[in-house]
């Protein structure tokens, strides 16, 4: 059979049913093979970046694979931002790129390019993939496909890229004669579960930090069962904000530089941090990192040895490092804690509940405003979103407002490209989610700046009549950037406001032009009615949520202050009354 037919059949054997593609001279054989092979098809996005992001969203929703195809040169380079979304969040995705024919390659000539649109995509994508390979010998196709998919899931998952020259794509192969890849045996390191249990027995104020690795290891149910048996309080990184429902007694909430004030009080006053599947990035620890939970014993579980060792360069001491898959670690902790008596942490959980009541993410004042308050909008959305539901969220203030105020229920998933945080990710990722699970409603949350990055994908949604409800948090500017300018640049909103150089269309008219139904929400008192109307209409539905430009993420930790002391600053006597550990000098004065 033709080599690209073999590739299409291989993707179908992985359970992939849709591959996101943009046509080009070097991608046509891929596309025609996807059309010819039963059980798999292509979906045309309007831009390769969106195709890569759709594949990323597809993989996140299925928990399996996503795939995208692009032509050579600019088609391949346009994939890069979406590849980064998968790489930095450890999402297994497969990217297929066409390349100029082997007899048109520059090779060792020293010239930049011989074939039309020849580009060294392997060298460009090597640092942001688990594996990148070019197929020159058609007899290697089975071996390289199997090797790539193995490496995409081994250890810390991630994307892979397979570049195939145009002439090789058209060559014939005999599937029965192809040689496969033999994966090496997996090395399983021991887990010091008894050491963890001993630390728990000594702790008076423990906090479990849950990270994306729990989802990657597919142990969310086991983790929840262990938490409910031990009654350990759980602080959530953004990537697993939906791991426990909002009303769960063990759920603290999201913490860190853009987390909630109450969760930061809990984490920063803890005497034990057990981080499972979180790399504890600077958004979690704050800056400088040594201010993070500074009086707590710190135990970190991560599958990546480099993540465990990195803190020696940043002054943060990790007392116990456990290199393991989160699933194995949770199973070991479950077995070890089942055989021992743990302390009663009810007083500590009660203190956390006091903080949650004292410093809620959404206040009565938010709901009393006449214009739409973002926190009031998010709280109303969390009450009205269906269950189950996939909520795809763009970067900027939109993701921070959602992570602080959205109260998830069982069956609701909150998805974002949490570490690359690319503007424009949510709409194409929502397209991927729709194709991955057409039985689950999809809600897309974007900002005006983010939507402009992939506005053209409104056409893809309309073309396939996808039931996406898109809420645009429209404040006519880049408010997260404006908040940084408030802090450091005298509130001069250069390149972050219309006055500072930005330009926006009338979004409702644009949406209607693409074939969407369009609504507008401009008053707080109308939040529930308009949200409900948008969710009840058959998609695609566009809702333009008008948010005044002055709204910011509150609270937010200014660089240089510890996480327990975000802006707006509390009165110093009130702040001190909430601190169990000694405040730092920077927090003693305003």
pLDDT tens-digit readout, 245-286: 999 999 999 999 999 999 999 999 999 999 999 999 999 999
Say which CATH superfamily domain 364-546 falls into: Thiamin diphosphate (ThDP)-binding fold, Pyr/PP domains (3.40.50.970)
Residue 187 pLDDT more than 90? no
Query: Per-residue pLDDT tens for 337-354?
Result: 998 999 999 999 999 999
What angle in degrees, to the nearest 10, is found between the helix axes of 479-488 and 397-405?
90
- Phi then psi for residue 312, to 5 deg, are -60, -25
Query: Per-residue pLDDT tens for 485-499?
Result: 999 999 999 999 999
Query: Per-residue pLDDT tens for 402-457?
Result: 999 999 999 999 999 999 999 999 999 999 999 999 999 999 999 999 999 999 99
Residue carrying the six token digits 């479950």: 334
Question: What confidence score (pLDDT) does residue 328 get?
Answer: 97
pTM confidence score: 0.97
* 293 backbone φψ class: left, alpha, beta (φ>0; ψ -120 to 50): left
The CATH code of the domain at 193-358 is 3.40.50.1220
d(CA 498, CA 486): 16
Q: Which CATH number does the domain 3-177 belong to among 3.30.1490.20, 3.90.110.10, 3.30.930.10, 3.40.50.970?
A: 3.40.50.970
Average pLDDT value for residue range 368-396: 97
C-beta atoms surrounding 586 within 10 Å? 11
Query: Per-residue pLDDT tens for 120-146?
Result: 999 999 999 999 999 999 999 999 999
Give the β-pairing of 251-254 and 320-323. Answer: unpaired
Query: Per-residue pLDDT tens for 489-541?
Result: 999 999 999 999 999 999 999 999 999 999 999 999 999 999 999 999 998 99
By the 8 A CB rule, do 121 and 163 touch?
Answer: yes
- Contacts for 198 with CB less than 8 Å, ≥ 6 apart: none
Question: What confidence score (pLDDT) does residue 455 get?
Answer: 98
Query: Per-residue pLDDT tens for 52-108?
Result: 999 999 999 999 999 999 999 999 999 999 999 999 999 999 999 999 999 999 998
Q: Which part of the chain is CATH 3.40.50.970? A: 3-177, 364-546
Q: What confidence tier does 315 reach under pLDDT thresholds 50, 70, 90? A: confident
- Calculate the average pLDDT of the chain: 97
Q: What confidence tier does 590 reach under pLDDT thresholds 50, 70, 90? A: low
Q: What confidence tier does 385 reach under pLDDT thresholds 50, 70, 90? A: very high
Q: Please state, for a pLDDT cut of 90, what percent of the chain lies above it.
A: 96
CA count, 13 A, side-chain hemisphere, 316: 30
Q: Which part of the chain is CATH 3.40.50.1220? A: 193-358
Cα of 550 vs its chain's centroid, Å: 27
**Does a cis peptide bond (omega within 30 degrees of 0) precede residue 288?**
yes
Question: What confidence score (pLDDT) does residue 588 get?
Answer: 86
Question: What confidence score (pLDDT) does residue 314 get?
Answer: 86
Residue 589 pLDDT more than 80? no
């Amino acid at each position: 059979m033709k080599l690209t037919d073999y590739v299409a059949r291989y993707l179908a054997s992985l359970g992939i049913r849709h591959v996101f593609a943009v046509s080009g001279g070097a991608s046509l054989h891929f596309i025609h093979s996807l059309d010819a092979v039963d059980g798999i098809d292509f979906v045309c996005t309007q831009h390769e970046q969106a195709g890569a992001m759709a594949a990323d969203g597809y993989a996140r929703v299925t928990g399996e694979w996503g795939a995208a195809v692009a032509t050579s040169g600019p088609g391949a380079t346009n994939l890069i931002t979406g590849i980064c979304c998968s790489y930095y969040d450890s999402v297994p995705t497969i990217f297929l790129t066409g390349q100029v024919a082997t007899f048109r390659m520059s090779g060792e000539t020293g010239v930049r390019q011989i074939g039309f649109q020849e580009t060294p995509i392997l060298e460009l994508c090597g640092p942001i993939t688990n594996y990148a390979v070019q197929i020159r010998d058609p007899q290697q196709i089975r071996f390289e496909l199997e090797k790539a998919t193995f490496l995409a899931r081994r250890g810390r998952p991630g994307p892979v890229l397979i570049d195939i020259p145009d002439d090789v794509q058209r060559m014939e192969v005999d599937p029965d004669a192809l040689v496969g890849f033999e994966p090496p045996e997996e090395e399983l390191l021991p887990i010091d579960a008894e050491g963890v249990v001993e630390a728990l027995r000594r702790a008076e104020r423990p906090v479990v930090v849950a990270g994306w690795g729990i989802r990657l290891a597919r142990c969310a149910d086991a983790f929840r069962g262990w938490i409910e048996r031990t009654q350990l309080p759980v602080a959530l990184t953004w990537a697993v904000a939906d791991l426990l429902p909002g009303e769960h007694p063990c759920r603290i909430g999201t913490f860190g530089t853009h987390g909630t004030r109450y969760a930061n009080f809990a984490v920063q006053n803890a005497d034990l941090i057990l981080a499972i599947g979180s790399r504890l990035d600077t958004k979690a620890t704050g800056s400088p990192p040594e201010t993070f939970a500074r009086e707590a014993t710190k135990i970190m579980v991560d599958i990546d040895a480099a993540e465990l060792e990195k803190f020696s360069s940043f002054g943060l001491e990790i007392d116990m490092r456990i290199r393991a898959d989160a699933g194995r670690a949770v199973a070991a902790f479950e077995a070890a804690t089942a055989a021992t008596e743990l302390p009663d942490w009810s007083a500590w959980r009660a203190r956390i509940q006091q903080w949650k009541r004292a410093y809620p993410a959404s206040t009565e004042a938010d709901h009393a405003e006449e214009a739409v308050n973002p926190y009031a909008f998010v709280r109303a959305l969390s009450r009205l979103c269906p269950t189950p539901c996939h909520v795809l969220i763009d970067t900027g203030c939109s993701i921070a407002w959602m992570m602080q105020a959205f109260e998830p229920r069982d069956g609701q998933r909150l998805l974002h490209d949490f570490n690359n945080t690319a503007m424009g990710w949510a709409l194409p990722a929502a397209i991927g989610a729709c194709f991955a699970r057409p039985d689950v409603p999809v809600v897309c949350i974007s900002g005006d700046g983010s939507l402009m990055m992939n506005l053209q994908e409104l056409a893809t949604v309309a073309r396939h009549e996808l039931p996406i409800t898109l809420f645009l948090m429209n404040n006519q500017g880049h408010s997260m950037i404006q908040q940084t300018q408030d802090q450091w640049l005298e509130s001069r909103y250069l390149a972050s406001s219309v006055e500072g150089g930005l330009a926006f269309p009338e979004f409702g008219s644009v949406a209607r032009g693409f074939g969407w139904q369009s609504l507008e929400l401009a008053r707080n008192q109308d939040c529930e009615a308009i949200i409900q109307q948008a969710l009840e209409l058959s998609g695609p539905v566009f809702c333009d949520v008008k948010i005044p430009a002055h709204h910011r993420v509150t609270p937010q930790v200014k660089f240089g202050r510890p996480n327990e002391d975000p802006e707006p600053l509390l009165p110093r006597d009130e702040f001190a009354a909430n601190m169990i550990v000694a405040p730092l000098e920077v927090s003693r004065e305003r």
